Amino acid sequence: GAVVSQHPSRVICKSGTSVKIECRSLDFQATTMFWYRQFPKQSLMLMATSNEGSKATYEQGVEKDKFLINHASLTLSTLTVTSAHPEDSSFYICSASKGEGQNEQFFGPGTRLTVL
């Protein structure tokens, strides 16, 4: 149990376009989902925390208008990178927890975004 999927696993887009990444909890209801960004050979940096039905809480330095997060249901959260630029190229990972962030987070496989 506690499987989290992400789609797509890999995406290449042109500069200026928008890209949507989906994160789904397959076998549990995720009250809280988290979005991380991981640069090569570096750690995961939390971008935002989203609770179902409410606005996401963004970490300092993360542009909320650039990284749009929607958590419309207990099993789905989406991250949209708007007007993507090459510096947005990265590995984006989501995680989901069953509670209010007190419980274990289950991680998705990640999405590799390359902006040309």
Partner 1 sequence: AQSVSQHNHHVILSEAASLELGCNYSYGGTVNLFWYVQYPGQHLQLLLKYFSGDPLVKGIKGFEAEFIKSKFSFNLRKPSVQWSDTAEYFCAVRSYNQGGKLIFGQGTELSVKP
Q: How far apart are CA 34 and CA 66, in angstroms?
A: 16
Q: How far apart are CA 53 and CA 74, in angstroms?
A: 9
* Contact call for residue 68 and partner 1 (CB under 8 A): no
- Pick the binder of partner 1 from 24, 84, 108, 115 (CB under 8 A): 108
Tokens standing for 33?
A: 């989902």
Residues 6+ apart with CB under 8 A from 102: none
* Contact call for residue 92 and partner 1 (CB under 8 A): no
Nearer Cβ to partner 1, position 51 or 82? 51
Q: How far apart are CA 110 and CA 68, in angstroms?
A: 17
- Pick the binder of partner 1 from 55, 73, 109, 116 (CB under 8 A): 109
* Contact call for residue 16 and partner 1 (CB under 8 A): no
> Given the rule CB under 8 A, which residues bind partner 1?
4, 34, 41-46, 49, 93, 95, 100-102, 104-105, 107-110
